[in-house]
Amino acid sequence: MFKNHNWLPYISATTTSLIFGLSFLFSKKALNVASPFSLLSFRFLAAFSVMTILVLLKVVKVDYRNKPVKNLFFLALMQPVIYFIFETYGIKFSSSSLAGVMIALIPVIVTIMASYFLKERASKAQFAFISISVAGVGFIAFMNSTDSGSTSILGIVLLIITVISAAAFNIMSRKLSSSFTPMEITYFMMGLGAIVFNGVLIINHAIYGTLLDYFKPLHNKDFIISITYLGILSSVIAFLLVNFTLSKIEASKSAVFSNLSTIVSIVAGVVILHEQFKYYHLLGSIMILVGVWGTTYFGIKAKAINDLIKVKEIEEIKIT
């Protein structure tokens, strides 16, 4: 029987997917009253403010002394900065089906990059189940598309950069987990996100002489509720769990759980927004769940076997 603590990273990854899946619902509500940059600015400002209060009250501890902070900057640059900017405009200049398929490629790109940069080798079984999960997302995105517009080359390029930045974040977070705690990584990410997005928003308002409009979205109750969820749960808690997961299991295994967000977003749309649920949603969801189950099962099995081998090696050394 597998030890209980072996399940913690997978429980963490599943919880993250639940949070991220519901974030689309709150983002949609917020974007009804504010621009994308206003949403991102207040989201990460709220996240950074909450974490700063916790640090000042010594509820949580961060210590960057004698640590490679420069590497943290590049990690935070990949996500949230580059990822959210290029995802927003990539979707704007492309069809929804293409965007869904491209984002679904993240686990595959992570697996490839992890094998090269981290020397993490996914087994044939794990790679097969990762592919099934990705195919499920791609199937839903393709069938669900009602966008009849054309996709520009610019949109494709922006989405490619989005996928690469997300994959790079997974690799870098996994690598930096040996130098920083999940809290230290998350706090730095929220801080850089708050500075960059608010800086861009303020400069944009200054250029057009609309600085007073900076606070305008805060007059809307739905926006405040959305920012509370996106800033605290979807940013602080979710990214903290992401960084914790990446400190415990391989990047390729962690990335596949992001596809669960697709199922959560579908369920939220059907239950809360009364959107239609069609046969391809069910088929795609089954593919995703099978893929995640297989990746989790063979990942835990491989870890248990490796742990057993290590124990035997230690016992043999003691005997000799």
* In a domain? residue 4: no
235: its two tokens: 């940013």
Q: Are 177 and 136 in contact (CB under 8 A)?
A: no
Q: Mean per-residue pLDDT for 255-278? A: 75
Q: Are 165 and 78 in contact (CB under 8 A)?
A: yes
Proportion of the chain above pLDDT 70, given as a percent: 83
* In a domain? residue 193: yes
Whether 67 shows a pLDDT value over 70: the answer reads: yes
199: its two tokens: 């800086």
* In a domain? residue 124: yes
Q: Are 22 and 251 in contact (CB under 8 A)?
A: no
pLDDT classification of 275: cutoffs 50, 70, 90 = low
pLDDT: is 164 or 298 the higher one?
164
Give the count of domains, the chain: 1
Whether 26 shows a pLDDT value over 50: the answer reads: yes
Q: How many residues does the chain have?
A: 320
Cis amide bond preceding 80, omega within 30? yes
pLDDT tens profile 219-254: 999 999 999 999 999 889 999 998 898 888 878 778
* In a domain? residue 9: no
* In a domain? residue 7: no
The reported pLDDT for the residue numbered 288 is 77
Domain span holding position 208: 16-319
pLDDT tens profile 301-320: 665 555 555 445 455 555 55
